[in-house]
Amino acid sequence: MDTIHVTADADALRGRATQLIDAGRFEAARPLLAAARVLAPPSPELTLVGARLALGSGAWEQAMRELDDGIAAEPAHAGLRKCRADLRQRIGDREGSARDAAEAVIFDPADPQAKAILGLALLDLGRTADAVACLAEAVAGAPTDFDYRQALSSALEKTGDRDTALLVLTDGIDLCPASVAMRNAAILLCVRRRDFTQAVRLAEIARSLGIADACTFGLKGHALSSLGRHDEAAVAYQDALKLGPEDDYVRHLVVSSSAMPDSRRAPEGYVRTVFDGYADRFETHLISLGYRIPGAIRTMLQAHPKIAAGLPVGPVLDLGCGTGLVALAIGDLPLGPFTGVDLSPRMLTHARVKRLYTELREADIIADLAEHPQRWPLIVAADVLCYFGTLEEILAIVHQRLEPGGWFVFSVEAMLPDHDGIIPGNGNWALHRQGRYVHAEHYVYEAACAAGFRVTRVDRPIVRQEAGADVPGLLFAVERIRDDD
């Protein structure tokens, strides 16, 4: 086979590289740009393609060098300015981004992209009214662009004008009825406003028109669930999972609707998503639901022989510590220091504020127990085992991490027969529609004994209220009695 010959058309190569970058195919663009740079002398256009390629590939320092050099050589090039404004925005240089974007607007006043970048920069700088004005101009210049409308809607939401924020998106839907992103943004805004009826209506329109993706169905399920329409929510979640099967959060909700086989515990992704999204209003929400477990744990611990004798118990490991409600409830007892473990970084942020823990670790509790061989005199897990079906694994590893005679205090939600008298699940545990597991008292008791514990006390508190009804719970204190490891 003979040697093959290459084109000498650098412009064509640069044009193709630009198309590929626009399509997010950076690795395909890279060799074409390299070839174009061999074939043609430096130019602002080549610099821009190179900078966009570096930006898209995450090589921000290289992108900045290319842009700085390019702008030094060609200060009035609007494209280079916009690109650097974008880059500066990404690295948090808000002032610099606004300056470059403003220059780009001056050099090319008709360019809506420059105005949009400027608007976003102003929004970051807290100049919300200016941002709204800029973004409104960007939207006027390119009324079908989703990103500009999304940015304008966000800016308006920040001003508190949620009606206009929604109108920007619904107008966008009228102009671009095939844009699923526009529809999802509008539905999400309705969910944030807690206007679930409108969210369901918009999602249903999207579905009936066939302009719906996994996100649409997931949001619809969320809104329906918030309206108490659980059966319809289950169907929406099933459809969401068909289109987004990698989503652990949705998968767990589908499993909890019995449309898929039970898993033995809630996936990490589910728990993290739930609690990260929940962290900012967690405590007020729990209090409004009559959450009583921390108080019940306090009552139970007062029966601990050392505490009853006024002696210090020692360090405490708080599994699934959340925002730190348990430490708050028992912090005045002769216990501590406290170490907390939780999957949700936002929950941990709230716990950190309370200054009750000497150490907080973001981790799955099983993984954390496996990783840290330290032994504890007391481990607590409040409202955590409701994300596990089978308890054998967690009980076994907690047993390994307790000192002889150490206590493990944990709560579960009690499994009760349904209204037909049928025991749900496998008789030991069942997954409920809300995504939490419930457990039979006999199962927890037997699993604890099998793991090498003695059950010292079982209380039956009300965990909280749900839809106005009490949710019964079980609070176990178990003591490590066997040392076989």
Partner 1 sequence: MTIDVHLSAVGVDLLAAGRFQDALAPLRLAVSLGDTAPATLLNLAIAEDRAGDRDRGRRLMRQVAVRLPDWDEPMLRLAESLRAAGETMAAEEAYGQVLDLNPSRPEALIALGGLLLMRGQGEEARTLLIRCCGVAPDNAEAWNTLGLTLRATKAPSPALTAFVKAQTLRPGCLDYVLNGVEITLDAGESDAELARLTVACGQDPLNPAIQLGRGMLLERLGRRPEAIDVLEAAAALTPDMVVPLRLLGGVLARSSQVARAQQVLRRVSELDPDNPQVRNDHATVLIRLHRHAEGRTILLDVLDRHGPDIAILCNLANATACLGLQEEAVAIARRAIGLDPRAVLPRRALCNTLPYRDATTGAELLAAMRDCSAVLPRVAQPPLGNNPDPDRPLIVGLLSGTLRSHPVGWLTVAGVETLDPDQFSLICLTQNAAPEDPIARRYRAAARGWIEVDGLNDAALTAVARDRHIDILIDLGGYGDAARMPACANRLAPVQIKWVGMQAHSSGVAEMDWFLTDRWETPDGFEPLYSERLLRLPDGYVCYSPPPHAPDVVALPALTSGFVTFGCFNNLAKITPRVIETWAAILRRIPDARLILKTHQLSDGPTADRFLAAFASLGIAGDRIEPRGSSGHRAFMGQYGDVDIVLDPFPYSGGLTTCEALWMGVPTITLPGEIFASRHSASHMSNAGLPDWVAGSVEDYMDMAVARAGDLAALADLRARLRDQVRRSPLCDAPRFGRGLGAALRRAWQAWCVETSPPMPGHVQSRNVWK
Give 266's contacts (C-beta < 8 A, 6+ positions apart). Answer: 252, 387, 388, 435, 436, 437
Taking the least distance from each CB to partner 1, the nearer of 13 and 121 is: 13
Taking the least distance from each CB to partner 1, the nearer of 94 and 251 is: 251
- How do strand 357-362 and strand 453-459 relate by DSSP bridges? unpaired
Residue 203 beta carbon to partner 1: minimum distance, rounded to whole angstroms: 12
Round to whole Å and give the CA distance between 210 and 310. 67
Taking the least distance from each CB to partner 1, the nearer of 9 and 470 is: 9
| Structure token pair of residue 204 | 């249903």
Nearest-Å Rg of the Cα atoms of the chain is 29
Taking the least distance from each CB to partner 1, the nearer of 6 and 422 is: 6
Residue 424 beta carbon to partner 1: minimum distance, rounded to whole angstroms: 14
The SS3 call for residue 290 is coil
Residue 237 beta carbon to partner 1: minimum distance, rounded to whole angstroms: 11
Taking the least distance from each CB to partner 1, the nearer of 162 and 207 is: 207
Residue 470 beta carbon to partner 1: minimum distance, rounded to whole angstroms: 30
- b/e code 327-361 from CB counts within 10 Å (16+ = b): bebbbebebbebbbbbbbebbbebbeebebbeebb
Residue 171 beta carbon to partner 1: minimum distance, rounded to whole angstroms: 25
For residue 458, CA distances in Å to 217, 342, 386, 411 come to 42, 25, 16, 10
Q: H/E element holding 309?
A: none
Residue 209 beta carbon to partner 1: minimum distance, rounded to whole angstroms: 9
Taking the least distance from each CB to partner 1, the nearer of 157 and 204 is: 204
Round to whole Å and give the CA distance between 396 and 485. 10
Residue 36 beta carbon to partner 1: minimum distance, rounded to whole angstroms: 9
Contact residues: partner 1, CB under 8 A: 1-7, 12-13, 16, 20, 25, 27-32, 34-35, 37-39, 207-208, 210, 212, 217, 239-240, 242-246, 251, 258-261, 263-264
Taking the least distance from each CB to partner 1, the nearer of 24 and 92 is: 24
The SS3 call for residue 122 is helix
Length of the chain in residues, anyone? 485
| Structure token pair of residue 383 | 């409202």
Judged on CB neighbours under 10 Å (0-12, 13-18, 19+), 460 is exposed
Taking the least distance from each CB to partner 1, the nearer of 134 and 214 is: 214
Cβ atoms of 272 and 341 within 8 Å: the answer is no
Residue 390 beta carbon to partner 1: minimum distance, rounded to whole angstroms: 10
| Structure token pair of residue 110 | 């008709």
Residue 241 beta carbon to partner 1: minimum distance, rounded to whole angstroms: 8
Taking the least distance from each CB to partner 1, the nearer of 83 and 254 is: 254
Taking the least distance from each CB to partner 1, the nearer of 178 and 289 is: 178
Residue 276 beta carbon to partner 1: minimum distance, rounded to whole angstroms: 22
Instruction: Provide φ and ψ at 315, rounded to 5°.
Output: -60, 150
Residue 347 beta carbon to partner 1: minimum distance, rounded to whole angstroms: 27
Q: Which of 321, 384, 408 is nearest to 358 (CA)?
A: 321
Round to whole Å and give the CA distance between 112 and 379. 58
Taking the least distance from each CB to partner 1, the nearer of 299 and 428 is: 428
Residue 395 beta carbon to partner 1: minimum distance, rounded to whole angstroms: 19
Phi-psi map region of 480: left, alpha, beta (phi>0 left; psi -120 to 50 alpha): beta
Round to whole Å and give the CA distance between 255 and 399. 30
Taking the least distance from each CB to partner 1, the nearer of 320 and 389 is: 389
Instruction: Provide φ and ψ at 276, rounded to 5°.
Output: -65, -40
What is the Cα 268 distance to its own chain's centre?
Answer: 11
